[in-house]
Structures are given as C-alpha cells and as structure tokens.
Amino acid sequence: MTAPTPSLLVVSAHAGDFVWRAGGAIAAAAQRGERVTVVCLSYGERGESASQWLAGKSLDEIKAVRQSEAEAAAAALGADIEFLDLGDYPLVESQESVHRLVDVFRRSHPTEVLTHPLADPYNGDHPAAARMALQARVLAQAIGVANSDGSLPGRDDIIGAPPVFFFEPHQPEQCGFVPNVLLDITDAFDRKRAAMECLPAQKHMWEYYTHLAIRRGVQVKRNAGPNLGLPHETMGEAYMRYFPQVTGELR
Amino acid sequence: MTAPTPSLLVVSAHAGDFVWRAGGAIAAAAQRGERVTVVCLSYGERGESASQWLAGKSLDEIKAVRQSEAEAAAAALGADIEFLDLGDYPLVESQESVHRLVDVFRRSHPTEVLTHPLADPYNGDHPAAARMALQARVLAQAIGVANSDGSLPGRDDIIGAPPVFFFEPHQPEQCGFVPNVLLDITDAFDRKRAAMECLPAQKHMWEYYTHLAIRRGVQVKRNAGPNLGLPHETMGEAYMRYFPQVTGELR
Amino acid sequence: MTAPTPSLLVVSAHAGDFVWRAGGAIAAAAQRGERVTVVCLSYGERGESASQWLAGKSLDEIKAVRQSEAEAAAAALGADIEFLDLGDYPLVESQESVHRLVDVFRRSHPTEVLTHPLADPYNGDHPAAARMALQARVLAQAIGVANSDGSLPGRDDIIGAPPVFFFEPHQPEQCGFVPNVLLDITDAFDRKRAAMECLPAQKHMWEYYTHLAIRRGVQVKRNAGPNLGLPHETMGEAYMRYFPQVTGELR
Amino acid sequence: MTAPTPSLLVVSAHAGDFVWRAGGAIAAAAQRGERVTVVCLSYGERGESASQWLAGKSLDEIKAVRQSEAEAAAAALGADIEFLDLGDYPLVESQESVHRLVDVFRRSHPTEVLTHPLADPYNGDHPAAARMALQARVLAQAIGVANSDGSLPGRDDIIGAPPVFFFEPHQPEQCGFVPNVLLDITDAFDRKRAAMECLPAQKHMWEYYTHLAIRRGVQVKRNAGPNLGLPHETMGEAYMRYFPQVTGELR
Amino acid sequence: MTAPTPSLLVVSAHAGDFVWRAGGAIAAAAQRGERVTVVCLSYGERGESASQWLAGKSLDEIKAVRQSEAEAAAAALGADIEFLDLGDYPLVESQESVHRLVDVFRRSHPTEVLTHPLADPYNGDHPAAARMALQARVLAQAIGVANSDGSLPGRDDIIGAPPVFFFEPHQPEQCGFVPNVLLDITDAFDRKRAAMECLPAQKHMWEYYTHLAIRRGVQVKRNAGPNLGLPHETMGEAYMRYFPQVTGELR
Amino acid sequence: MTAPTPSLLVVSAHAGDFVWRAGGAIAAAAQRGERVTVVCLSYGERGESASQWLAGKSLDEIKAVRQSEAEAAAAALGADIEFLDLGDYPLVESQESVHRLVDVFRRSHPTEVLTHPLADPYNGDHPAAARMALQARVLAQAIGVANSDGSLPGRDDIIGAPPVFFFEPHQPEQCGFVPNVLLDITDAFDRKRAAMECLPAQKHMWEYYTHLAIRRGVQVKRNAGPNLGLPHETMGEAYMRYFPQVTGELR
C-alpha cells in the first residue's frame, strides 16, 4: 500500500469564510505542495453584503464581486476554488445539493476536510454547510450511492474516511467550539494576511484576525511548553477535530 | 533548539492498571527505543486483591506479590517502574504525595504523560490518581516550587507542558470517556499480551482485554478509512487527549 | 442615539402556550405600557384539542374555538395577537413560513423575543417553533433578505439583535431547560390568572400553573437573598436566556 | 383497568441493524410469549451492501437479498417483520413516511419501543430513523392526527406513551451513547447468535457481536453486584432509556 | 441463590432532608415490609436552624430539637434512624467519617441507596454527603478494607453493588438534576405528609412539598401514558439513577 | 425596605489576576462611586514569578514586590485591597482559610461577587479560589456559623445571596467558560490600562489584554445589535453568571 496523495478540501458556507478562519491551514498545505480545493456553497450575497445592498447593487452584481474577491484570496493562498451558488440566508439543505458535494468529494479525494462547526446561533448557514459536508463525506464512501448525474461510481471513485476539522466561528464559546487542535501557522501567516487583504470591504477585519492569530499563537506556545522553543511571534489557528485521531504514536 | 528526548511517564493508581489499559502504548514506545517510566501510586493491596485476602495473606505479603507481578509486567513491556506506596481504597490525596510526584516529573522529564480519566463512579482511586498527576505536572513546571526535599529546582529541572492522555477505564461510557485518539498497537500487541500474562491472578482478563484490543482496532480501521490499507488484525487502544494537540499540520 | 421603543414579541407554537408559560412577562410588559405582539404559529388544533375531537367537532370548529379563547387571553394580558395557521402535529418548518415570520419581526421591531426552548421530547412542535423564530430573527436583520412579498426591506425595516428568552416547558429537566433568569411577576400575576381562566377546557391547569408560579417565586426569593425583602407571596416565571446578556453594570 | 398486552416495536434504519443491536431483547420478549414487530425503514441497499455492488448486482436484486436475510433473522428471533422501503444513504425524512410509521404504531400498540440513538457521526440514517420513530410515537398519541389514508383514528387506535430505548451504535462513545440500562440476555443469546448467522455476508461480525455481548455481560455482573450470583457466562446488551422510568418501586 | 433481603439505606446530610425529598420512597418501602435505615450525617444545626439561633438557643439545644423531630418523622415513615453528628456548614469529609459510613453499609447490607445529588450550588453539604456515601459504598465492597475499629470484615460483611438513586434538590435545574426515575408514591403520600408535619418549624414547606408531589405525579402520568389508567390524584417523587439499571426485561 | 448599598467583592487567587480579568468591572463600579474590595488569596509568589526566582530573589522579597504592584493597580482602579497570604502552587483549601473569607464577606456585605471559574486545567489555584469563595458566600449567610474568632454573628452581620460572576480565564474554551454576560467597559478602559501598567513584569500582557477587550467589545456590539448605536471602539469584558439572574424585567 502507498500513502494517499495529500488533498485538502475546504467547505465554506459563504465566499469569504475560508479566508478568515482557515487561511493559515490552507496556505501551509499549499506551501508544502499539497493540493487544496475550496468549495463555496454560496456567495454570501444576501447575509454578508450589507454595504453593497445599501449602495444599490443588484443581486448579480453582488455575486460577481464576491466571486472575484474570493478567487483572488484563494489564489493568494495557493488554492483552487469553486462555487456551487446554492443561495444564502438561508442556505437550504437539499438532497440535490448534497449530491453535488458528493461529486466534489469523489473528484478531490480529500485526505483532510475543513468546514464550519455544527452550531452557530448567529448564522444558520454555517451549521447547514457543516451538515451537508458531513453527509456528503459519508455518502461519497459508499459504492452504492450514485454520482449526481445518476452514474454509479467506480471502485477508485469512492473515498476513504478523511478526518474532519471544524474551523473557528466568530464567537467560539457560543457555538460549542472547544479547540482540540492548535495549528502553528507562523510560516503561513504572511500569505493569510495577503489573502485577507483581497477582501477590501472588510478592512476592519484584517487587524481583528491578525490579533486572533496572535492570541491562538500564544496558546500554541502554552500548550507546547517552553521546552519546544517556539518563537515569540508564533501565530496560530484553532480547530476542533470531529472524529478520533488515528495514530501510531501518542504525541 | 533541539527536540526533547522522548520520555513517556505513566501514572497508575494501582499496580496492574498500566498493563491492561496502556500496555500497548508503553510497549510501542519502548520498541521505538524511548524511555518509559511507570509510577504506581499504590499496590492495589486492599481494593484489587480479594482472592489473596480470602486466602488469608497479610497486607505485606499482598503488597510483595503485587509488586513483583507489576515488575515482571513492566519488564515485559520494556519500562522502568517505581512504587510510591501511598495506600489504596482510598488513595488519599495529600500535598506531600503530590510533591513526591513532582520529583518524578522533574526526574523523568516526560514528553508525554498517561494516566486515568478524571471520573470513575466505580473506583475513586482512579480519578484521585489523575488529579494528583495533573497537579504535579503543573507544579513541576514552576521554578518557584521546591522539590520534596525543600531544595529549589534548577533551570533544567523544570519541565515543559507535556500532553496528557487518559487511558481507558473499565466502563468507559460511565466515566465520561470519549476517545479522541485511537492508537494502532498491532506491532506491540504481542508484548502487551506477554505483560498481561505476568498477572496470573487475573487470567480471565487476558481474553477480555485481547477482545477489547480487537474492538478498538476495528475502530482504528473505521476512522482511518479503507484507503490506508490497515491489516484485518489491527489491534488498538483508546485514549482521551486532555489538552489541545499542538501541531504544524492538520492530519 | 435614542433607545429603541420597547416591543415584546412572543412566538408560540400553539394557541395556548403563551398564556401558561409567559403570561406573567407579557402582562408585566403591558402594564409598563410596552407593546406586546403574540404570534401563534398554529391553533394546536390536532395535538392539543383531544376533548373537542372526541366531542365530534370539525377541524374548522376546533380552530375557531381555539382562536377565540386565545384572543380573549391575549386581551386579558394586554397583548396583540395574530395567527399564522401553519398547522400542528406536526408543525412543519418551511422557508415560506419562516419568511412570513420575518415579516412579523420587521413589522414589530422587537426589543425582546420570547419563544419555546430548542428541545422537547414530548412535543416536536415546540422546538420547531423555536427554530423558526431564531432563523427569522437572523434573516430579518439582513438588508439583502427580501420580505415575503419579494420586495427588499428599507433601511428602517431591518431589525437589531434582540435578546431571546426561552419560556418554561412542561417538563423542564427533560428539555435541557436550565433557568438563568427568574422573573418576578408578583404584580402581574392577577392578569396572568385572568388570562388562564379564558381557557376553560384546561381548568385543571389553572391551579397547576398557579403552584408553579409560587414555586418559581420561592426561587426568586432564594436567589435574590433575604436582604432584598421580597414579600412572602412573590410569584415567578423562569426563563433561559439564549444569547449573552449585554450590560453596562454587573447586577 | 387491565395492564396492556405486551408488544415490542423495533424501528430499524436498515435491514440488518435490529439483529446485531437488539437481537437479545427481541428474542427474550418472544421467549416470554410477547409480540414483537420489527419495521425496517430501508433495506440498507446502498450504504451497507458494498460487496454486492462490487459483484455487479442490481438494486432490485440487492433489496431482495437483504429482505430475505432479514426475514430469516426475524424468524429466528421470533419476531414479525415489515419493510417500508424508504431508501437509504440517505434515509430521507418526510411527512408521508412519518405517517406510515404512525400507522405502524397504531396497529402494533407498542408497550415498548426500540430504535437507534439520536446521534451517529458515521451514519446519518440512524438518527434519521430515530427522529422519525420519536415523531411518529407522539403523533400516534393524538386523536386529532389522521391515519396515513386520511381517516381519523378511533378512540382505541390512539396509543399511550410507551418507553423508548435506544440500542447500541457501532462506536458508542462517539454517538453520545451512555447506557443506563443493561439487559441480561443470557437465556436469549443462542437465538441471537442463530439470527446473526442468517446474515452470511457479515460473517466477521458474528464473533465481534458475541464478544460485545460478553463485554456487556461483564458490566451486567459488575452493576448487579456479586450478591446476585449471576453466572460467569452472563451475556448482555446495553440500552439508553430516553424518557424517565415510571415505577412503583426503586430497584 | 436466593434474592437478597430488601434493605433501603438513606444517607441524609441534615436531619430533615430525607423527609421532604425521599419520604414517599421510604414510606412505600416500609409499607411493603422492607427495612429502611436513615443515617443523618449532621443535625443541620448551623445551616438550617436560623430561627432557633435567633431565639437564643444553644448549639446542644438545637441539636436535641432537630434530633427529636427527625426521630418522630422517621417513625411516621416506618424507618430506623441514626445520627453521625459530623457537623454541618460545612460538613467536612474525612476518612474517619467515611469509615463510620462503611460500617453502616456493612451493617445494613442495603439493596438500594438514596442520597443527595453530586452538585448543589446552594448548599455544599449536600454533595459532600453524596461523595461520602458513594465512597463508603465502594469501600464496603472490598474485603481488604477494614472496619472503622480496625478489624477485617468477614466474607458476609462485604456488600454487593446496590443501585444508588439521588433524590430531588430544592432547585433541581441548578444542580444538574435530570430525573430518570419517576416514583409513584400515591399510596404512601399520607405517611409522607404525616412525617412532614413532625417538623413544625418548617410549616410553610408542608404545602410546598405537597404541590411538588402533585407536580411530579402529573409527570408520572404523562410518562406512563393514559393507557395505564393512573388516578387523577397520582403523587410522585423524582429520582436520578446513578448507575445503569440491571434488568432482565426492558420495561 | 431600602436597596442595599452597592459593594463589589473580588476574590482573586493571585495578586495580579483581578487586573487582567476584571479591571474594567472594578473601575466601572468605582467610577459609579461604589465600594470595591479585592481580596488576594495569595501573592502568586511561586507560580507566577518565574523571572524573579531566576533573578535570585527570596520568597519574602518576591511577595513584597507582588504586594506593592497589586496595591498600585488596585489604587489605579479605585479599589481597596487585602491579602490573605495563603500560599500558592498549590493554593490549599482549608476550613480555617474559608472562615477568614467568611469574615471578609461579612465585613464587606457584597451585593456582587467576582471570582475565577470552577475549572482550569492549566492552573489549579484558580478553581480552588472559586470553591473557597463560593463556600464562604454560603457560610456567611448562616447565622449559626461563627466568625473566624469564634464569636457568633449578629443579625446584621449575615449576608444575602449576592450574584456571582466568573471572570475570564486565559484559555476560556478549555475551562468550560461560556460567557453569558458581556460587560461594556468602554468608559472604564483607560483606568484598566493604567492598572495593567502597574505590573511592569508582564509588559507583554498589556497589548494582549487590550486586544482581548477589543474582541469582547466587538461581541458586545454584535449581541446588542446595530440599533443600540454603540461606538466603533467599544471595549468589553466577558463574564459567566453562576446563579440565575433575578429581575423584574426581561431585557
């Protein structure tokens, strides 16, 4: 047997979520030469584009702006990106949508999956995205489940059981988000910052998420212990692993 | 900076606990050439030696039997072992005992710590051992906390912040034990079985814990996914990581 | 800036729920001169009208009786009331229904929202009502989300982020209902009792909910402490605040 | 008043689930002369029949095989069985399906209900089945809720409030499954084993679930205490009671 | 083997707790001819006797009053009672006290144990009593654990693993008290009321706990279902079973 | 009856904790003219003074430095401060210490209490302080509980039931800290910053806690809603209310 080719799949409810919440993990994977696929279920056109609605933009114009910004950010991180355009506020779960996601899983063969956590009292689209991602991941494993065009998958199409990591919501404690993985993103932070700067409408968030990276970086150092000699300026991202870690060594 | 030398510390309430619950992790670490230290807080002389009390053995005789069996099991696993003889049923927490454990932490400089989970409605000694281990781990980090002989530690004596893993209790669901790490112990299982066989009074447990290893091995395979090609006879142990994992890669 | 005009919105799954569970809060707000709007998602015509079905009444007759009783109770409390007639047992969540609720939120501009808690193993309509209320509250905040007639909201139509309080279910401990707000309804209790007496089919509940008000009143006194000098006959209602309280003083 | 006639209803997501997870309870009830009805919501034709898909079988062929195996297993346990053929992977919840289940509840008048627990990160069909079973149980109690053919139920058609027991999922700790009932199935185990052997495609599970019965049997003995004198070979099944137990004696 | 003789042991932090919270269960057991032993760890002399302190009574006088009232209440329920006089506010846990409780367990050989739940933010003595009761129960099972006079127990002295039921605290939701057993005490309620009336200083509690019995009785009926034909005036008490129920039948 | 005089009591495990975690609440209360009493159970001399130990300072020297810094910070906030000097790492709970705290409660007659949350895997002194504060609060309410000098309290000495708020630990999600109160400290922040600057050894924390105040301020705005018109630079602190809020109005 050979180890599977690393492939990171990121399922994002809206066009910008992946940047603020998982930009470090994405950039780090890309820097290691791994393939990263971001799939945006919607553009966030209704719920996260207030200033553009106030400016009188049309729905299609708003979507177009959001898409091009997200594409720029993905490029800055080194990731591929695609859009399912399922609509937001609310992001409605449907079997058809889930099957389109099944196709994405079978096409990208992820070895790791990132998505939103399962609770968010402030934004129902986030847990809806997580539920769809988790359901698609299970369906994509079954050889008896057809692709979205009705064809049956071949033996190589079906996927394994990739670990799933929830990225950090805006108000973590209100979402039952208890980090059990702290990711050191020090080397990837410059790219994350560059990606954030591709989203000019949320300029006030650039500093906010830089401070959050410092804060999570302090926790990286605390939990690693002083003996590991991490640098003062360690930057971090927090994740919540959903399935048990499988390992050959306790570390 | 250089990575610290691997050193596994196992804090066990009674003389036999480490064998059934963590024998695989211990043997695997020893097989990799790492140092393993088992510290037994008591011999389990009152609470886990019913047959010997019924046979009319004295307290000292019972302790001696338990000690020699545990030493044989530790040897079979490749671990050092020591005994604090704090008494069991109940294992009473005291500041003096905790400070003796602080010494053990500073002497062994663990890079990983294994102990019991914090709840067990069936045996209060197990959570007491966990509380002492966790408290000693924190105290051993502080340069202002004296050793048990009253001397102040040197800069190299104080320890880092090693991760802590709780091993599996007898009735996991009743103890709030939700595994978040599944350890593949396939290659180490023969040594674990040999160590179990050093405990002849509990012969009925040999099969029981062999079946548990098969069961946890099935879960290793389920959570790893078919693509990893794990063998049919994968053996496993379940652990619960107490502090967030610190890592440079999401895997 | 000026403080928003107080406006209490109560989302009730069935026609009678708001009386038993939130009658005190409603009457107290009305007594303070505040506007109160009760919206009943259904009449409780199938699940809570057994005696009328047994008496051979038709569906329309049952709805009419339930409506007139609820209107009388609302009047006794000093509240406006409206009915969405979505059907009960089960109360089916749909996007259309949620958008009708969005209209209610935008029309009433609530400063506080009361509804059912999110779990109830005895009656699935209650959590369904809560989910719809919570979703509508978020959608009503977004300027990009259209009204139910397809028109876009104006800037003054969109609402803020009013706090949400869950009122007490019939078997609180089975519903994960842990009160974190105890409301003193002593001065409003007479009106609550009068409203209960508008529901003659459930006469046995009048005493039941009077005793519950005494019980929660005892807890009001316990948690306030003797120094506040609350009267012996303090009456109370229990609530569970869903979002963090925002305040300028810790009290 | 007379005690109701014992009647056990088992709601199973797929054709095989009831055998592995509740075979002991089913056989024990049948041995006591009680009526047992198993209702399989799907055949597990897509999600649990990988080997047959790989062998090139058609969907109808796979369903037929699954059905005949499940019928043989039910016969070995002494239970009636029926199939709703709602489809699996995913098992889609719909009001029509729930009303078909309402009919089953009204027809079988269960005094006890067994089904899956409400969470399972590995298989979304299991919690979907549980949600449908729980909703149908409540709807079947209401005289105002019509049968699936639109007719109104008679007074004797409506059911009481039977207790619900969740049976054990494959990875209990990951599903929030904390057993609060341990069932002694020693006398029924032979029939459970015979039923398992009716499912030849999963031969590797026979030993696995035999070992699980031994493991749960050890817990039966532990929690009963040595004074009850249970035999060494006690076999068990674990359940999670969803509603409070109603009793005249604390035992 | 023969079934053990029924014996109910009630561990009460203060002299009055067992009456309000478990009087129905005690009276019902006594009415069935079973032996009931109440052990009061303290008299509640400091924390629950404010009116007597205000009246200028001495510590010894207060203890004497509390003792005679509790003895009268126990007699009204049909129970034996004893007092360990460990002091209250705070009830201090010590190994000596626990060993005195071990003696009680070995003397009374309980088949069921009732005590306080493990959390109570309003009164630390209650969880302290529960912790001591639970620890003593485990120690009393071990033949290697000496009696409080230092003698070793005989084979018949050690106890089994009796189930433990927590009785209802004053503010259940704040104490993590989720009833999983609802006890029908209709036939025993007159004796409970008589016992309550043995405590004249808390006359205002007589009605309060009568209403609570009605409330829990309503829940008995709800969870039993209408088919069981329980009478309108069913009275109840709520309990929380700590260990899994062991049974031969799911009911 | 007259409302009690506002009095805020802050129970801090170590000399600096109150500044970082509750400085805003303290300064705001002082600005309103209310009395604030800070009681430091220890100086943090062993666990939080690493640099001074490394510099060869003696235990007494370290305590003196910590005391004078804490006094300066309290003065900057407008609070009184006292030190119980109970020792840290570990902070040992004892009945004598708790009774000294009872005296503090009776002397300060708090209308609100702030302390650490009940869990902290990184520092056992914090939950120990919380447990002592909570126990002392209950004991101080009882007229039968003597003062630490053995005298009985007078009627005016005993306290009511002041609400308790836990302030934010360093790693909130790991401590079960879910904020349910967000305090607007915008107007008090300058004083909090000034108090932080009284602690020169932890200069790197000044920015860290300024950023945290910004972050919690963003959450104040999010949960208040845009309609309240809070300024862009709103600063916040997060708290966790331990007992239910008692109120006459739902807000």
Please count the residue pairs, one from chain C and one from chain F, whose beta carbons lie less than 8 angstroms apart. 124
- Among chain B residues, the shortest Cα distance to F90 is held by B139
- Is the CB of E215 inside 8 Å of chain D's CB atoms? no
Which whole number is the average pLDDT over C44-49?
95
Beta-carbon neighbour count of residue B233 at 10 Å? 9
How far is Cα B245 from Cα B243, in angstroms, rounded to an integer?
6
* CATH of span A7-241: 3.40.50.10320
The C-alpha atoms of residue D28 and residue D35 are separated, in whole angstroms, by 11
Across the interface, of D143, D242, D243, the residue whose CB is closest to C50 is D143
- Return the residue in F131, F145, F164 with the most chain E beta carbons within 10 A, the one to mutate for interface testing: F145
From residue E9, how far is each of E12, E26, E112, E118 by CA, in Å? Answer: 10, 9, 6, 17
Residues with Cβ within 8 Å of A50's Cβ and at least 6 positions away in sequence, in order, are C142, C143, C144
Give the DSSP letter of residue E14.
S
Would strands D112-115 and C164-167 be described as parallel, antiparallel, or unpaired? Answer: unpaired
Angle at A150 between CA A146 and CA A156, to 5 degrees: 45
B2: pLDDT strictly greater than 70: no
Confidence (pLDDT) at D55:
94
Question: Is the pair A, C in contact (3+ CB pairs within 8 Å)?
Answer: yes
Instruction: State how far the Cα of B143 lies from the Cα of B158, in Å rounded to an integer.
Output: 6
The string of pLDDT tens digits covering residues C175-188 is 999 999 999 999 99
Residue of A nearest to D89 (CA): A139
SS (H, E, C) C31-98: HCCCEEEEEECCCCCCCCCHHHHHCCCCHHHHHHHHHHHHHHHHHHHCCEEEECCCCCCCCCCCHHHH
Contact list, D208 vs chain B (CB under 8 Å): 214-215, 218
The stretch D86-110 carries a mean pLDDT of 97
Question: Over the stretch A84-125, which tens digit does the pLDDT of each residue have?
Answer: 999 999 999 999 999 999 999 999 999 999 999 999 999 999
Structure token pair of residue B240:
């619960």
**Is pLDDT of C1 > 60?**
no
C-beta atoms surrounding C6 within 10 Å:
16
pLDDT for res E2: 63
pLDDT value at residue D2: 63
- First-to-last alpha carbon distance for chain E, in angstroms, is 24
Q: What percent of chain C has pLDDT over 70?
A: 98
Mean pLDDT of chain B: 95
What's the pLDDT score for residue B140?
97
pLDDT at C193: 98
Q: DSSP string covering E151-208, please?
A: PPPPTTTS-----EEEEPPSSGGGGT----EEEE-GGGHHHHHHHHTT-GGGHHHHHH
Sort out which chain C residues have CB atoms less than 8 A from D155's CB and list them: 54
Residues of F in contact with A217 (CB under 8 A): none
CB–CB of C145/C153 below 8 Å? yes
Strands F181-184 and C245-247 turn out to be parallel
Kindly state the average pLDDT of the residues B154-159.
Answer: 93
Which candidate from B177, B212, B218 shows the least CB-CB separation from D173? B177
Contact of C28 with chain F, judged by CB distance below 8 Å, is answered with yes
pLDDT at F228 over 70: no
| Range E96-100 average pLDDT | 97
pLDDT interval class at F201 (50, 70, 90): confident
Count of Cβ atoms closer than 10 Å to residue A211 Cβ: 17
Q: What does the pLDDT average to over E16-31?
A: 98
Q: What pLDDT is recorded for position B230?
A: 79
- Structure confidence at residue C2 (pLDDT): 63
Structural domain spans, chain B: 7-241
Q: How confident is the model at residue D231 (pLDDT cuts 50, 70, 90)?
A: confident
Closest-CA distance of chain C to residue E219, Å: 7
CA triplet F29, F30, F35: central angle to 5 degrees?
90
Alpha carbon distances (Å) from F201 to A218, F55, F71: 17, 12, 15
Question: What local confidence, expressed as pLDDT, does residue D64 receive?
Answer: 98
Asked if F140 has any chain E CB less than 8 Å from its own CB, the reply is no
- What residue in F sits closest to B130 (Cα-Cα)? F121
pLDDT in tens, D6-43: 999 999 999 999 999 999 999 999 999 999 999 999 99
Report helix angle F17-31 to F59-77, nearest 10. 30
Tokens of E227: 């088919």
pLDDT at E199: 96
Choice among B17-21, C166-170, E151-155 with the minimum mean pLDDT: E151-155
Chain A contact probe: residue of F54, F173, F206 with most A CBs at under 10 A:
F173
pLDDT surpasses 90 at D235: yes
Hey, what long-range contacts does C93-97 have (CB within 8 A, 24 or more apart)? C93/C128, C93/C131, C93/C132, C95/A90, C95/A92, C96/C148, C97/C41, C97/C132
User: Which residue in A191, A208, A233 sits closest to A24, CA to CA?
Assistant: A191
| Residue A24 neighbours by CB under 8 Å, 6+ apart | A183, A185, A188, A189, A192, A213, A235, A236, A237
Tell me, what's the pLDDT at F231? 78
**Span E169-212, pLDDT tens digits:** 999 999 999 999 999 999 999 999 999 999 998 898 999 999 99
Indicate the pTM of the whole model.
0.97
Mean pLDDT of all residues belonging to chain D? 95
Q: What are the pLDDT digits (tens) for C64-102?
A: 999 999 999 999 999 999 999 999 999 999 999 999 999
CA dihedral C169, C173, C177, C178 (to 10 degrees): 140
pLDDT tens digits, one per residue of B87-103: 999 999 999 999 999 99
Helix or strand or coil: residue E80? strand
Chain D residues touching residue C127 (CB < 8 angstroms): none
Closest CA of chain D from E217, distance in Å: 10
Average pLDDT (B36-52) is 96
- As a whole number of angstroms, the distance between CA E178 and CA D244 comes to 9
- CA C77 to chain centroid, in Å, comes to 12
> At residue F125, does pLDDT exceed 60?
yes
3-class DSSP state of E239? strand
Helices (H), D32-124: 50-54, 59-77, 95-108
Predicted-complex ipTM score: 0.96
Confidence grade of residue D127 (pLDDT, cut at 50, 70, 90): very high
Q: Is the pLDDT of residue D226 over 80?
A: no
pLDDT-above-90 percentage for chain E = 93
> Under a CB-based contact definition with an 8 Å cutoff, are residues F19 and F73 in contact?
yes
